[in-house]
Structure formats: C-alpha cells, structure tokens
Chain A
Amino acid sequence: MRFVDSVVRQGMFVALALSLQLLESMLPMPLPIPGLKLGLANLVSVYLLLAADWHVAMRVAAIRVLLAALFGGTLLGPAFWLSSAGAFASLVGMTLLLRTASANITILGVSLVGAILHNLAQLLAASYLMQTTGVFSLWPWLVLFAVPAGFVTGWSARALWKRTQWMWG
C-alpha cells in the first residue's frame, strides 16, 4: 500500500501544480517585464520540501514542467528549456540550503533563494538561447519582485504544511 499511497499523493500534487501553473498563465501581466511571475506552481515545490523530501519535490516539478509543455505544445522548445532550467535550479538551491543551513534559516529565506535562482537560471538559459547578454538588465527588476513573491510562497507553504500534517502520518 505504501507504493500506491505515494503514487496517488504525487499524482495529486502534479495535478495541483499544473492547475496553479495554468491559472498563473491566465493572469494578466502587471508589468511588461519578460520572466516576471508570481511562481504559484513553486508553492507546491516548497510545500513538498517541507512535507516530503527533495526527490519527491523534484519528481513532481519535473512531471509538471513536462506535462505543461506537452499540453501547451512547447515540448523541447525554448520556453520548455527556460522553465526546466528555472524549476531545476531553484529546487537544487533550496534543497542544498535546507540541508546545510536549516538551523539559521526558515523556509521563508529558502523560498526567497529559490525564487531568485529561478530567475537567474531563466536569464542564463535565455541569454544562451538568444545569444545575448542584454537580458540580464532585467535581473534587478526580477529580484525586486522575487523578494515578496518568495517570502509569500514560503509563508503560504508553511501555513499549508501546518494544517495538513495529518496527511503525512
């Protein structure tokens, strides 16, 4: 039953993350800055880092990015590589930070670092794909919004985790 249990659980979180990502793509863009976003789907990743383990978070994020690209028809296209780079870099960074510095830092700071790494990886991927360094001029703007977005995501993930701990036995 443990196997079925974990498959069901991961499937549920993939569905949740996909819905959040879709919802986010339907929101109007507040400012015309490429790469600017709330990072709603990242809420699931941060939550899973708290509730489960890094490899569960990684698997769910990988399936989410893959399925979103498959449904959107952008599989293996430039946008797919950008979102893969962002999701992967932020999860690796957050995992390492949680492992090494969890005595000094809470999930709020971890989530903030995840948000900034997400932006940075996307800019690196974009500058490679488009062969231009000009995109880095967007970075200060992206960081400005990553601070509140990262904190809110971390805070929300912790609040959700506190209320759903019963689910994880």
Chain B
Amino acid sequence: MKKMKRADFLMGAAALAVSVLGIAWSQASPVKPGAEMIVRQHNHEVLRVELTDNSEETWTLGEPGHQNVVQRKGTRARVVKADCPDQICVKQGWVDKDGDQLLCVPHRLLVEIRSKGAKTIDALAR
C-alpha cells in the first residue's frame, strides 16, 4: 500500500490553494467601518444600535439558560458573557467592521455589524 498517492497530494494542494485565495480575497477587499449593530435572536431582530460615540452600553438578552450579554463600546461590539457550553461567541472578542459577525449557535443569536446604508437580510427579504 502506497503511503500517499498523487490524488491525495493534489487534493490537499487544491484545498490549500482555494483557502489561501479566499483569505487573500477577503483581506484585499476594502474594509468599511461598521455603522450599526444588529442583533437577531431566533431570526428576529431584537436590537439595532448605531455605533457612534464613545459611550458604553450593555444588554442582557434571553432568559437564564439561553442568555447572552452583549456590549457596545464606542464603535465596537462584543459578547461579554454567554451561558452556553462552548463560549465561541465570547472568545470571538470585539468586532467593528462591515460584515463582521458574532455567532452563538446554541442560543441562535447573531450579532452583525453593518456599514451605513447596507442592506440587511430583512430588507432583502421584503
């Protein structure tokens, strides 16, 4: 049995190439600063806040067991606390650019940063 065949190598190389191209493309595309933060829970918009001044706001969303604490500090947003097991949304840290997302799958919570005038999913669906 051969240790590795040509097709294995080609597939690995192809996957790496696609990945590197994708990353390069996302890095090269112009970055727009975020203008507002949209929070959706179970696919319903529960919060829409402008990212403007340097003030600080905190929201506690959901009931205990499905709770996320979302914070806005100036133009940045993050999930401070979540009572889910994986804590992925918390570890994602701060986001502030157009298109950035914080994802909490167990609670179906999505924090999305949008630039001014960007179309949201809801606007597209209408």
Contacts and interface: CB of A to CB of B under 8 A. Distances in A.
Whether A and B are associated in the same complex: the answer reads yes
Interface in B17-35: 18-23, 26
Interface stretch (B2-10, B50-58, B68-76): B2-10
A78 B19 contact: no
A105 B1 CA distance: 11
Q: Is the interface of A mostly helix, strand, loop or mixed?
A: helix
B105 A112 contact: no
Contact of B92 (A34, A126, A137): A34
A134 B99 contact: yes
B110 interface: yes
Interface residues of B, number: 37
A32 interface: yes
Contact of A132 (B4, B5, B11, B101): B101
Interface stretch (A10-18, A57-65, A140-148): A140-148
B15 A129 contact: no
A147 B85 CA distance: 27
B15 A143 contact: yes
Contacts of A134: 99, 101, 112
Given A82-B105, A106-B2, 5 more contacts: A32-B91, A112-B8, A130-B108, A130-B110, A140-B18
11 contacts: A25-B86, A29-B88, A34-B88, A78-B105, A79-B105, A106-B8, A109-B12, A130-B105, A132-B112, A140-B23, A141-B19
Interface of A: 25, 29, 32, 34, 72, 74, 77-79, 82, 101, 104-106, 108-109, 112-113, 116, 126, 129-132, 134-135, 137, 139-141, 143-144, 146-147, 151
Interface of B: 1-8, 11-12, 15-16, 18-23, 26, 40, 43, 85-86, 88-89, 91-93, 99, 101, 103, 105-106, 108, 110, 112, 121
